[in-house]
Amino acid sequence: MSEHFVVQGLAAGRGLKGTIPVRGAKNAALKELAAGLLFRDEVRFTNMPVIEDVSRLIGLLRRMGVLIEGRRTVRMRTPRRMTTELPPDEAERLRASVVLTGPILARWGSVTFPHPGGCLIGARPVDLFLEGFQKMGARIREKNGGYEITAPGGALKGANIFFRTQSVTGTETLMMAAVLARGTTVLENAALEPEIASLAAFLNACGADIRGAGTPTVTVKGGRLLSARGAVWRTPPDRIETGSFLILGALAGDDILITRCNPAECKAVIAVLERAGVPLETSRRTIRIRRAKRYRAVDIKTHEYPGFPTDLQALMAVFLSQAEGEALVFETIFEGRLRYVDELVKMGASLNVCDPHRIIVRGPTRLAGAELESPDLRAGLAYLIAALVADGESVIHTVYNIDRGYERIEERLRKVGADIQRVKE
């Protein structure tokens, strides 16, 4: 049964007030679960976000034979033997399933998987993964629209791998594969996202030898299974959720305190908002944001970390629709990430598409409630924010897309004064 949100726009002069804690990072949690395949004993995680993507990956791992219990705190034990074929019906719907291929191939010497799915935000090929596995000695065969990969002799070998394009998931997947590969692996032009450094810190604490994670060159000395030895790893806070609440607070918050976050990982978003005139106060683990009467238009250009996140691009377009002046939004990473534009225009926003990567936003414009269809995870939350600052009632369909990355968002926003209801269709 599908669900939708019914959202009442905030009345003039009324804004959200209160505290919003940030949950564990989706993009860290998914990779931690994949890394659990590298352990000989039980591994435990705390602060896991209770979201659809994590639930689906846990379900997929269970189908493959992994023992997993819990939701916020997860206990995971990998058996000595398990199926090495990812269930196509689940893996095709979950892009993150591709990260399982590195640990499975490295530990059991073979893996079979379909072409992964996920949000429809543009092409996300797996060629970087396949090329990396080949350099580590694997053989690849296309099979029924997917891939069958084997390591001769049952083991990968260390290699020098240069990413012609920075890839977060590619860096993480090959880094995990290298933990069990024989010899030393060097990853060059690696992605810099903090989730990579967090993953490496977790693995190093359990016996891995990974150096340089979070820099362009990552060196891994591999060859043995890891042991948690009863340790518990805490999933770091979600920097994209933090940025989402920053933009929400700027548009709809009288006084919002974002807690359990890491402002140091959100510098690009904070810098853009401050240039636009948003009043912010940061401490080591909190950000306070108060709505100003007027904002200035600022250009944004998405970029790999530490640049402005592509995942917040749609939300910033909503913000800029309420700022004074004209701004360019330049999406440099995905060519399909502007699919949200028509729905915002329907609400009254002035957004003009220049090409598949650029839009011009003019503001401020008054938004009106509308019936909206969420095209992907981040655009779905952008619609939710737009609905809160619009006049009247909005209905947002395909709530599942939002649930993939934001835990029970309607309950959390109701606590700070939003009028949002989840309705079964």
The answer to whether 266 is a known catalytic residue is no
**What 3-state DSSP class applies to 409?**
helix
* Residue 372: closest CA among 364, 382, 363: 382
Residue type, 420: I
For residue 111, report the phi and psi dihedrals to the nearest 5 degrees.
Answer: -155, 140
Q: Which residues contact 46 (CB under 8 A, 6 or more apart)?
A: 72, 73, 232, 233, 234, 235
CA angle 225, 227, 228 (to 5 degrees): 145
Q: What's the rounded Cα separation, in Å, for the pair 195 and 259?
A: 19
Give the active site residue among 119, 206, 261, 266. 119
The β-bridge relationship of strands 358-363 and 325-330 is antiparallel
Q: What's the rounded Cα separation, in Å, for the pair 85 and 197?
A: 28
Q: What's the rounded Cα separation, in Å, for the pair 410 and 154?
A: 48
Q: CB–CB of 176/103 below 8 Å? A: yes
Q: What's the rounded Cα separation, in Å, for the pair 235 and 48?
A: 6
For residue 38, report the phi and psi dihedrals to the nearest 5 degrees.
Answer: -90, 0
Residue 320 tokens read as 């800029």
Residue 279 tokens read as 């009043």
The β-bridge relationship of strands 393-397 and 371-373 is parallel
Q: Which residues contact 212 (CB under 8 A, 6 or more apart)?
A: 190, 218, 219
Q: Which residues are catalytic?
A: 119
